[in-house]
């Protein structure tokens, strides 16, 4: 349903900026392939320092592309998959609007 | 879940003629949907609607409040009395400064069937795969609560998954 307010063209930009970097794309593609990883694992086989990698991860976290979770003493980085799945989220939003509309219809026709 | 189509089924405990009137009479449709419409539904008619929060369920009406005054244009496609009502519109077409006329539309269909205890209503909205990705993304940009709001919407959706076929 079309109940969306007039938009301001600012929200996707951080997402694209976050992905517009070769290092970050590589980190994302590893998280895609291997699932949630710690900074130690992400730094393995990389020429970059952990500090430099963390900086990139934080940029992507800021764009809500990644999120970090704790497992014991370890911090794991993972993809925020819903952020990567616009088409489905879009349908979920519209789907919810239909649910609301049909509940109103039910109230309207059932006495 | 298909990315092209949303399908909803709901059993309405009311006579078929009552359900048909609620869907095919533009005033009644507007009452529960939350739209003020410019005239009766007729095949081929171009409808202009203005969002007016529906107070059929007050708490849900509140959630429509931010969208009050938003314009919807849609074209009635088919009317088969007591059975089928369909129209085409631009999903998320809310920006009054944009010309959406050249963009693809989605088809919304209401199908009525007899069911024990009432009417099984199936609502489908299809054609999303043709909607440009940029347009889909606007649905989120326009959500002032941003991401956290979206997560709530998704949680609510997943919570209702048992009664939803999306």
Q: What is the mean pLDDT of each run of 10 residues along chain A (111 residues)?
A: 38 55 76 83 87 90 83 85 62 82 92 75
Candidate ranges B26-35, B49-58, B122-131, B152-161; pick with highest mean pLDDT: B26-35
> Into how many domains does chain B fold?
1
Mean pLDDT of B76-96: 86
Give how far the C-alpha of residue B26 lies from the chain's centroid of Cα atoms, to the nearest Å.
14
How long a stretch of residues is chain A? Answer: 111
Which are the contacts of B23, defined by CB distance < 8 A and separation ≥ 6? Answer: A105, B29, B85, B110, B112, B121
CA distance to partner chain A, nearest, from residue B71 (Å): 9
| Burial class of residue B101, CB neighbours in 10 A (0-12, 13-18, 19+) | exposed
DSSP letter (8 states) at residue B83: T
Best to test chain A binding among B16, B29, B32, B126 (most A CBs inside 10 Å): B32
Please give the model's pTM, rounded to 2 decimal places. 0.60
CB contact (8 A) between residue B123 and residue A98? yes
Give the separation between CA A64 and CA A58, rounded to whole angstroms. 9
Q: How far is CA B67 from the centre of its chain?
A: 14
The whole domain housing B44 covers 5-163
CA distance B57 to chain A (A): 6
- Average of pLDDT values for B4-9? 86
Residue B137: the pLDDT is: 58
Q: Is the CB of B93 inside 8 Å of chain A's CB atoms?
A: yes
Where residue B61 falls among pLDDT bands split at 50, 70, 90?
A: low
Chain A residue with minimum CA distance to B57: A104
CA A71 centroid distance within chain:
20
- Of all residues in chain B, the percent with pLDDT exceeding 90 is 40
Contact state of B12 with A110 under an 8 Å Cβ cutoff: yes
Q: Which residue of B has its CA nearest to A11?
A: B141
CA distances from B40 to A109, B36, B48, B76 (A): 19, 11, 11, 10
Interface of B with A in 99-118 (CB under 8 A): none
Per-residue confidence (pLDDT) for residue A80, from 0 to 100: 77
CATH of the domain at B40: 3.30.530.20
Phi, psi of B10 (to 5 degrees): -145, 135
Half-sphere exposure (Cβ direction) of B92: Cα atoms closer than 13 Å: 22
Look at residue B94 and tell me whether its pLDDT is greater than 60: no
For B103-152, what is each residue's pLDDT tens digit? 788 899 999 999 999 999 999 988 877 776 656 655 544 433 333 343 34
Confidence band of B157 (pLDDT split at 50, 70, 90): very low
**Beta-carbon contacts of residue B126 (< 8 Å; ≥ 6 apart):** B4, B5, B6, B106, B107, B109
Verify whether the Cβ–Cβ distance A107 to B57 is below 8 Å: yes
Q: Give the integer Cα–Cα distance in Å for B121 and B92.
A: 23
ipTM above 0.85, yes or no: no
Nearest Cβ partner for B63 among A4, A64, A100:
A100
Measured between CA atoms, how close is A16 to chain B, in angstroms?
12
Check A102 against B150: CB less than 8 A apart. Answer: no
């Amino acid at each position: 349903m079309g109940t969306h307010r007039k938009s301001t063209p600012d929200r996707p930009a951080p997402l694209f900026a976050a992905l517009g970097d070769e290092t970050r794309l590589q980190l994302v593609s590893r998280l895609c392939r291997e699932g949630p990883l710690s900074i130690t694992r992400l730094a393995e086989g990389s020429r970059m320092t952990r500090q430099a990698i963390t900086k990139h991860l934080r940029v992507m976290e800021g764009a809500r592309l990644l999120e970090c979770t704790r497992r014991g003493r370890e911090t794991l980085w993972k993809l925020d998959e819903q952020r990567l799945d616009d088409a489905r989220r879009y349908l979920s939003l519209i789907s919810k609007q239909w649910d609301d509309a049909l509940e109103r219809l039910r109230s309207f026709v059932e006495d | 879940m298909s990315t092209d189509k949303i399908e909803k089924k709901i059993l309405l405990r009311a006579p078929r003629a009552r359900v048909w009137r609620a869907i095919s009479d533009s005033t009644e449709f507007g009452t529960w949907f939350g739209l003020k419409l410019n005239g009766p539904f007729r095949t081929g008619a171009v409808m202009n609607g203005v969002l007016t929060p529906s107070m059929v369920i007050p708490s849900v009406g509140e959630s429509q409040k931010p969208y009050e005054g938003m314009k919807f244009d849609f074209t009635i496609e088919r009317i088969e009395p007591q059975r089928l009502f369909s129209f085409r519109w631009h999903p998320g077409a809310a920006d009054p400064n944009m010309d959406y006329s050249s963009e693809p539309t989605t088809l919304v269909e209401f199908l009525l069937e007899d069911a024990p205890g009432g009417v099984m209503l199936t609502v489908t909205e299809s054609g999303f795969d043709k909607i440009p990705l940029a347009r889909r993304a606007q649905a989120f940009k326009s959500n002032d609560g941003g991401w956290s709001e979206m997560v709530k919407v998704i949680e609510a959706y997943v919570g209702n998954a048992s009664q939803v076929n999306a």
